[in-house]
Amino acid sequence: MADDLVLGMAGSGGDGVVSAGESLLAAASSEGYHAMMTKSFGSQIRGGESSCRVRLSTRRILNPGGALDVAVALNWEDFFKFGAELPLGSSTLVIHEEKAGPPPETPATRPLSKALVFSVPITEMAKKSAGTDKAKTSVVLGLVSGWLGIPREALLRGLKKKFGGKGAGLFEANERALASGFEYAQTHPLAEPRVLARPAAPTGPKLLCDGNDMCAAGAIFSGVEFFGGYPITPSTEVMQILSRELLQHGGVVLQAEDEISGVGAALGASYAGKKSMTATSGPGMSLKTEILGLASIAELPLVVLNVQRGGPSTGIPTKPEQADLFQAAFSAHGDVVRPVLAPTTVADTFSTTVEAFNIAERYQTPVIILSDQEIAQRKETVDAIDTSRFTLERRVVPAGAELDGYQRFRLTESGISPLSHPGMAGGNYLGAGIEHNEHGDPTASGAMHERMNEKRFKKLEPLKQRTDLFEVLGSRDARYALVSWGSTAGVAREAFELARAKGLDVKLLVPTLVYPVAERIYQDFFASVRAGLVVELSYQGQLYRILRMFVDVPKGVVPFARSGANPFQPTEVLEKLSGLAMAES
């Protein structure tokens, strides 16, 4: 029996591939499995190919996994459009639509064993059992149940939830299709069984959600009072969720006419004293840049979610990439520093969002959350969140004598000065994009500009000392190192475990605070290191390059970087690290 299984499925738009993956995910999670699903689409507005990748395990899952254990191809043309996202291996069990024919001879299919390739009349079975080829993926779920041991009853519950209220006879038709696939699997057994081991008894209730769900939930928990935004893939779900939920928590959502208006409205709400947020992706961030500069000089709290996708320009809007780090850190004129946080899992998107609001309020600054398409849209099982461990912060406001001759930008020891809002008696001030003195009056004084720059940078220095914003695993004196961030960190975590099991003396650093660079934390981490990798999904290796600007990175630490839509596998990170270790020893 296997205790870990990765299944990938691809077909045309309308085949219901992603819906089938969600049904499988829900069924497995209800049975107590750890489960994760990523989904991917072509960049067409309508139609085109779609795929899902589901990983099920009796153990905790850190990433979507490596080569597929099971591949389902409804047609080969669409399947191969996903390339490295659905990699095949010598032990991959292949289930394909009979009409599609056997796997074509390509470098991608060369490792396949013909004994593990099953041609199944999926469309014919769907028409015969359900009366429509729309039930093809229900036939596939039946095959998966029969061959892999996923409980049929759990899959039926998922189908009933999905189709129960969508027309007379729809659930029953898909139930028959599921049974058809299950019976086929029973009468055509695998030569080598691939049954997934049963999980241990569930330890408690789990959530089944994606990163955008968690970001919206984290914002509501943090007390967000205003969201201004504009729809853009792959962040739109955050606005959709808040549009549905925020009103009952006393907040307001504005879908603006464009990206600039969305962030401008959010900043205006922050000026008015409200916790505010916007969400976008790379092209929208380009448009929001000028308003972010205003937020920096006016020292106003604002949370900005950027769900990264393939770029530049429109790029690949439906695929993950980690190539907006330069944009987040440096896309500003003048001397500006603004915190950039990055979640690494669906679960920690909640805590990262809460932290972003706290930092924005405490330091009166815009804060950027750099999520990416994989984390934002992948679904996984998550333990229930203990919200009692969080403390929520609000901006410091002037009171008493501070309102006598109120100095909005007073030069303080911490660099943080009390922030009033319109309507506060004695708290009037000019909040503008022009440089100002302590009262907020415009100034062209070079000396005052120097002091205000110092103020804006100084207040963020304590942030760089926060070790709780960094995950460090392994021996302090380890010779070899892995550094990774965002969704790729899950691959690095598994590669770290594989390397330790192999006997490599390795340690791992995963930052939640990606910028400003915490020089001391990195210097301490690299002190014993002779060789290592900075693993990230960007062609330039942007984190590696930023680290070299601020930190004495050991010569043997090199980037392991590639463009988006080409995910890493834990085994290849291990292989690369092992090669560096051998060369160094």
* pLDDT tens digits along 26-66: 999 989 999 999 999 887 766 679 999 999 999 999 999 99
Confidence band, pLDDT 50/70/90 cuts, at residue 206: confident
Q: Are residues 409 and 293 in the same domain?
A: no
Is 449 among the domain residues?
Answer: yes
Q: Is the pLDDT of residue 80 over 80?
A: yes
DSSP class per residue in 392-442: --------GGGGTT--TT---SSS------TT-TT------SS-B-TTS-B
Structure tokens at 41: 């689409």
Q: Are residues 375 and 254 in the same domain?
A: yes
Report percent pLDDT > 70 for the chain. 99
Confidence band, pLDDT 50/70/90 cuts, at residue 120: very high
Is 429 among the domain residues?
Answer: yes
Q: Are residues 459 and 476 in the same domain?
A: no
Confidence band, pLDDT 50/70/90 cuts, at residue 246: very high
Query: Final residue of a domain: which of 353, 382, 411?
Result: 382
CATH code at position 370: 3.40.50.970
* pLDDT tens digits along 469-502: 999 999 999 999 999 999 999 999 999 999 999 9
Q: Are residues 415 and 320 in the same domain?
A: no
Count CB-CB contacts under 10 A for residue 480.
Answer: 25
Please tell me the total count of domains within the chain. 4
Which residue segment(s) compose the domain that 450 sits in?
A: 396-463
Q: Are residues 21 and 110 in the same domain?
A: yes
Identity of the residue numbered 265: A
pTM: 0.95
Is 286 among the domain residues?
Answer: yes
Q: Are residues 214 and 347 in the same domain?
A: yes
Q: Is the pLDDT of residue 379 over 80?
A: yes
Q: Is the pLDDT of residue 364 over 90?
A: yes
Structure tokens at 125: 């079975």
Preceding omega of 121 cis (within 30 degrees of 0): no
* pLDDT tens digits along 265-315: 999 999 999 999 999 999 999 999 999 999 999 999 999 999 999 999 999
Q: Mean pLDDT over all residues of the chain?
A: 95
Report yes or no: 27 and 151 within 8 Å, Cβ to Cβ.
yes
Confidence band, pLDDT 50/70/90 cuts, at residue 530: very high
Q: Are residues 181 and 274 in the same domain?
A: no
The residues pairing with 394 across neighbouring beta strands, listed in sequence order, are none
Q: Mean pLDDT across the stretch 212-219?
A: 98
